[in-house]
Every structure is written in C-alpha cells, then in structure tokens.
A and B are shown apart, each in its own frame.
Chain A
Amino acid sequence: MFEGCTIKYNKSPMTGKNCSIQVTYPADSDGTVKSLSVPMKPDNTDYQEILEWVDAGNTIEEAD
C-alpha cells in the first residue's frame, strides 16, 4: 500500500488549515506524476487506506 509514495497534507489557501491529503506516486518514465488529492471523509476508501497506513506506524507529512 502506497509503496514509493509521498503522503502529505494540503493546506487550504483560504483557511490556512489542513484541507486534504495529497498522495503522490513515483513519476512515470515520461515525467507524468500521478497523484490523489484525498478528502478527509470517512466514506472515502482512499482516506480509509491512509488511516490504515497511519495505524501501521506511518506519518502524514505536514504541508509545505
């Protein structure tokens, strides 16, 4: 799950608070970078998997 990905919060330009989580996959050979911008909503299965990843001892990076 999330092998080679960077996982960090996005900060809302409007509120300055964490607003979503950005999962960024390793770049393809042509330079394309796939990413998921994940809402912190319990019904979202990407968010569910991120919470499992955190429960396994990993940490979401803070936003830049």
Chain B
Amino acid sequence: MSQTKVEAPFVANNFAHFKNLVINGDFRVFQRASGSTAIGNGTYSTADRYKTQFSNDGAGTTQQYTMTDADRATTGHSFAWQWDVTTADTSLAAGQLAYFRHFIEAQNCSGLAYGSSAAKTLTLSFWVKSSKTGTYCCTIEKHDSTTYNLPLEYTISSADTWEFKTLVVSPTAGSTSLITGSGGDIAQDNGKGITLYWWLAAGSDYTGGTNNTWTSNTNHLATTNQVNWLDSTSNDWFITGIQFEIGDQATDFEHLPFDVQLQRCMRYYQKIADASHGGAGDAISGGTHYSGTAVYLTTIFHVPMRAEPSMAVSGGTNYFIRYSNGGNDQFDSLAIDDSASPHLFEFFASSGQNHSGGTAGHGCFIRTNNSAAKVAADAEL
C-alpha cells in the first residue's frame, strides 16, 4: 500500500478554516436584492445575514457596491455594502436609531469557552468608508443565560477613504467578570449566540454604555460619542471584509469559495423561485390535487435550514399558475401546512390563496406567473 506524505503547512492551514464566525463578511451574497432598496426596520432587505433596524424620521437605502480597481487594491475585496441617506434626520429623538446586526448561531460559538475562566479573547475587524467622519459604535451582544453587551467605539478619521478597523473583544473588558462567570454561558443550540451591531445613529435611550466595558444593561448598547450619520442626504457609508475570530489581533481575511459562502447563507435563507431573473414561468414545485380546490406541494431545501422556516412570498393577483390535466388556474399566493421541517416545505394553494378548479387525485405543477413573483424559505435568527 502506498502512502502520501501530507506536508505540515497543509495540515496546519486546515485547522484555520472557518476561523471567521461571520458569514458573508465580504458581501458577495445578496439573495434578496442587490440593487438600491429602502432600508427596513427589522428586516433583511439586501445583504444576506445582515438585519437592519431603522426607526427614525429619515430614510435611506442599501445596496451591493462593486469595488473599483483602487478599492480592491486597498481592501482586497471585490464587493461592499453601501448605505445612503435619502431623507435626513438632523435631530434624533431618544428612542430613535439606525443600525444593522449580524447574528451568530449559538452552536457556532462553542470554541469561545464563554461562561468559564478560559473565555477567549476575540477580534472584530472590517474595512469601512464614509463621507461622515467621527466616532461610531459597534456592540458585541452575548445571548443565553444572561444577556451582556459590550459597546466598542471606532473612529472614521478621513472622509471617503477606506480604513481598516480592529476591535479587540476581551472577555474581561472594563475589569468585569460577566463573561467568565456562569452567566456568560452560550447554549449549544440553534438560537442566537452572539450578535454584532454596527450603529449609524443612536438616540439617548441607547447611549448609556461605556466604551469597552461589558454591561448587563440591555439598553447600554452604544456611547454618547456615536455620530448621527442620518444628518445629511450627502452621507454614505460602506463596509466590507468583516471578520470575527479568536485571538487578540486581526489575521488575513478568510476568503471562502463563493459556493461555500452561498451555502452557509442558505442555512438561514434560500430562494425557491425568483421570476425577476428570467421573467414569469419559473418552476416552483410539483404536487397533487388534494381536493377540487386545494393543491399540495413539497420542496426539498438545497441545504438543511437552521429551523423550520417561514415561507416568504412576493405575490399578488394571478402571480402564480397551476397546471394539471391539460388546463391551468392562476392564483395569488401560497401557504405552508403544519408539517414544517428544516428539510422541506409542504405547502398548499387553496381558496384562501384564490386558487380553485381541478380534480382530486390529479397531478399538477406550479410556476410563477408574474416577473415580480418570488418564493423563499426564511429561517433567519
């Protein structure tokens, strides 16, 4: 039997794979939309795995930004996430805010040893650029047991210039023992483990935090130094290359193959059909007429999902069509039955979705029937 020698550097490098706890840190995956889209409050609108909170008197958009050659030469990345103010809010009320979050699944935090004296030091690094200089805040939020928050300031020093930021996350920041005590535990489950925040504006309800000090106060997420990025429609803001890793210094960004990054995103959100790509007529699924009115269908997910997902539908009058027995019927939407699973959807169209016609026992298949029709599975945190 022949043997193949495996060189030591190859073995060592293998252990470094998936060092980045952030998924889609290089902003290549935008399954929902990549073009300019209004910022929602509590929604995932554009970039996969990043949820926006936007409660203020202003308005804005986000989109995928394609880097110039000069951008790539500086950052080493091909894409970024772009934010723009379209309606300014120059005076934030106490409860108003603008931020986005990235949720890290709890069972992916098992190597951090939080809740023990061996809790690891972590490092958050990213590239950022904005027309608005000044102090901004990130928050590290630890879930499970007791929720603890760590506000961390960083400064954008030069307008419209890419800057690399490194924030060290000590488990004892501020000479605290919250993370090393039993309340620092993170459960080994599919819920939230650690949430990363990037603040763009924070009303006074949220700025009671002390920079680089862990707190159990769930409102002390930012500091009073946080700028109000919403104060002008001239303001923009870009970020890419987010990496969150064990250790007290930032290491080279972990570039994953696109298919790997996409599949990691699909644990949390995956498209079933999207007619915007090729016009109406995208196949969705095949199924059976359960009755003269109701058709039942199943779709197996490309990647098992984090939990039983919701079905996200962009529908409307006659946005979908069912074919069977040489005929068809147009209908408006879809709904899932109670047999939800992380592995597949069982769903139906019936009178509640404006579906009718057909014969029990006949096979059928359904397609999109409008270029705006979409169907997706959503199991985000």
B316 contacts A27, CB within 8 Å?
yes
Nearest chain A CB to B43 CB, angstrom units? 10
Which of B166-174, B177-185, B290-298 participates in binding chain A?
B290-298
B336 part of interface (Cβ distance < 8 Å): yes
A20 contacts B335, CB within 8 Å?
yes
Across the interface, which residues of A come within 8 angstroms of B190, CB to CB? 43
Pairs A–B under 8 Å by Cβ, sample size 9: A14-B294, A14-B337, A33-B332, A35-B312, A39-B336, A41-B308, A43-B190, A44-B307, A44-B340
Nearest chain B CB to A4 CB, angstrom units? 12
B290 contacts A35, CB within 8 Å?
no
B307 contacts A13, CB within 8 Å?
no
Task: Determine the distance from Cα of A9 to Cα of B114 in the docked complex, in whole angstroms.
Answer: 40
Size of chain A's interface in residues, with CB distance under 8 A? 32
Task: Determine the distance from Cα of A1 to Cα of B352 in the docked complex, in whole angstroms.
Answer: 24
Residues of A38-58 at the interface with B, using a CB-CB cut-off of 8 Å, are: 38-41, 43-47
By beta carbon, the residue of chain A nearest B307 is: A43
| In the complex, per-residue mask of A1-45: 1 if CB is within 8 Å of any chain B CB, else 0 | 101000000111111010110100001001111111111110111
Across the interface, which residues of B come within 8 angstroms of A60, CB to CB? none
Across the interface, which residues of B come within 8 angstroms of A17, CB to CB? 338
Interface centre among B309, B314, B335, B350 (most CB of A within 10 A): B335
Nearest chain B CB to A48 CB, angstrom units? 10
B152 part of interface (Cβ distance < 8 Å): no
Interface centre among B42, B306, B307, B332 (most CB of A within 10 A): B307
A10 contacts B310, CB within 8 Å?
no
Across the interface, which residues of B come within 8 angstroms of A1, CB to CB? 42
A10 contacts B352, CB within 8 Å?
yes
Task: Determine the distance from Cα of A35 to Cα of B320 in the docked complex, in whole angstroms.
Answer: 14
| In the complex, per-residue mask of B335-350: 1 if CB is within 8 Å of any chain A CB, else 0 | 1111010000001101
Task: Determine the distance from Cα of A58 to Cα of B347 in the docked complex, in whole angstroms.
Answer: 27
Residues of B315-337 at the interface with A, using a CB-CB cut-off of 8 Å, are: 315-317, 319, 332-337
By beta carbon, the residue of chain A nearest B375 is: A37
B281 part of interface (Cβ distance < 8 Å): no
- Given known pairs A13-B350, A40-B338, the reply for A34 and B293 (CB within 8 Å) is no
Q: 4 smallest A-B Cβ distances: which pairs?
A: A39-B340, A43-B307, A13-B294, A19-B338
A37 contacts B310, CB within 8 Å?
yes
B352 contacts A64, CB within 8 Å?
yes
